[in-house]
Amino acid sequence: MSPTNAFSPFFVALFVATATLAQTLAAGEPSASSILPAQPDALQKWQEMRFGMFIHWGPVSLTGREIGWSRGKPTPREEYDNLYKRFNPAQFSAEEWVSLAKQTGMKYMVLTSKHHDGFCLWDSQYTDYDIASTPFGRDVIKELTDECKRQGIAFGPYYSILDWYQPDYGESRGVGPGYELDRQPDIRKHVDYVKNQLQELNQKYGPFHVFWFDGEWESPWTHEMGVDLNNFCRRLQPDVLINNRVDKGRRGMHGMFQPGEFAGDYGTPEQRVGTFDRSVPWETCMTICRQWAWKPNDELKSLQQCLQVLVLTAGGDGNLLLNVGPMPDGRIEPRQADRLREMGAWLQENGESIYGTRGGPFEPGKWGASTCKGKTIYLHVLNWPGDRLTLPGIPAKITSAQLLGGGSASVEQSDDSIRVEVSPENRGEIDTVVVLQVDRDAVMIPPVDAP
């Protein structure tokens, strides 16, 4: 290239433009195109599963207090950080846990591989604060992932980014046992630790259906780190899903976010049913009792509460990740297991109105919720307002109506309303599922508000 050409206005402009772009990227400006997205197939398969088991477990179960949060108060740090030396859940059986998930009608499982307290439920080469250092010694993640593969349950690790045990994490709660760091905490070292562990998990126990992150809200974690970690996971396993707690986009316990602007494939409403949303995938996480980790005599939700949550979630177009906290002996508490099996029995009868459906077209309300699949709409009537239920009209013709599992339902349709009647003796105790056939693809019917 001749000197004249190199200084031509065109090359000068190109040079300036490139330099500006490079500067922008180096400064870590949010750049939507830099977030590697989920594979649509993987997301759809996950949505079709609709129902999963969340498990919060670790040495903390010995105290009956909340995982992570009870470290320091009320359990002194010294004591909390040494619980693992007594952790010996001799009755742990991966076979029983996974069988229970199956009997419940759950299609996937998410387990706290590492919660905020930093303890690791697998044998990690990056720390000794792990299951291999307990008297138990068996690798919980190994046994569970093997069993999940055997029984056809998808598995994903919950992984807390914040780590109050690792000194390099650097948040004020984050001083580990005996650590007197003679230097400043270094978040870059912590990020390396996180990435090393995720790679290790994936290599030894993968593939996973999801990396379920948490603990993104504290100040050491930034948006740039979130995008970077998202892309790291995606490169590890291109078809994996990543929840939105990888990045800073989550708006409080509502759990929703702006995809594209922030990393993550789905929203994570916590301890509440998410609001109807077909454009951003979401998953409600909720405890079957009140605490995430096991607590003796914790208040257990009734079957009615559990099924209402499941139905309202599916009707809002979301997934449900229902949490159990196993006991220090390794068993899931029998009364919790019984409740789950009751849900499973209901799903045996009514599962076609949940799995593989989308929420709507009638948005959830006091009356209940609806789901749909193909040319079928499932009305889940949770509260009959009287003799009949009146719903707003839809631009589709209802060609038949009956109860799921048999039994008659009568429907009168006009342009602006639908009146549904089921005689009281034919109504379900908790949920009456009315199956409507319509003359077009029900998912294409625009969602309507149904208070």
Question: Which stretches of the chain bind ligand JFZ, using CB under 6 A?
Answer: 67-68, 214, 217, 270, 285, 292
CA distance 308 to 304: 6
Nearer to ligand JFZ, 124 or 323 (CB): 323
Nearer to ligand JFZ, 147 or 214 (CB): 214
CA distance 387 to 409: 12
Q: How far is the CB of 299 from ligand JFZ (least distance, A)?
A: 17
Q: How far is the CB of 190 from ligand JFZ (least distance, A)?
A: 18
Nearer to ligand JFZ, 115 or 190 (CB): 115
Q: How far is the CB of 161 from ligand JFZ (least distance, A)?
A: 11
DSSP lists the bridge partners of residue 435 as 378, 402
Distance of CA 285 to the CA centre of its chain: 6
DSSP state of 51: E
Nearer to ligand JFZ, 56 or 190 (CB): 56
Nearest CA-CA partner of 96 in 77, 109, 112: 109
What would the two tokens of residue 425 be? Answer: 């003796």
Cβ neighbourhood burial of 398 (10 Å; 0-12, 13-18, 19+)? middle
Task: Transcribe 67-121 into DSSP letters.
Answer: TTTTBTTTB-HHHHTTGGGG---TT--HHHHHHHHHHHT--EEEEEEE-TT--BS
Nearer to ligand JFZ, 71 or 190 (CB): 71
CA distance 164 to 173: 6
Q: How far is the CB of 73 from ligand JFZ (least distance, A)?
A: 15
Q: How far is the CB of 364 from ligand JFZ (least distance, A)?
A: 23
Nearer to ligand JFZ, 214 or 431 (CB): 214
CA distance 103 to 344: 6
CA distance 33 to 36: 8
Nearer to ligand JFZ, 15 or 217 (CB): 217
Nearer to ligand JFZ, 168 or 270 (CB): 270
Cβ-defined contacts of 332-341 (< 8 Å, 24+): 332/96, 332/97, 332/100, 333/294, 335/300, 336/288, 336/289, 336/300, 337/100, 339/288, 339/300, 339/301, 339/303, 339/306, 340/100, 340/103, 340/104, 340/288, 341/100, 341/103, 341/104
Q: How far is the CB of 214 from ligand JFZ (least distance, A)?
A: 5
Q: How far is the CB of 292 from ligand JFZ (least distance, A)?
A: 5
Nearer to ligand JFZ, 68 or 328 (CB): 68
Q: How far is the CB of 112 from ligand JFZ (least distance, A)?
A: 7
Report the b/e string of 404-429 with b at 16+ CB within 10 A.
beebebebebeeeebebbbeeeebbe
Q: How far is the CB of 65 from ligand JFZ (least distance, A)?
A: 12
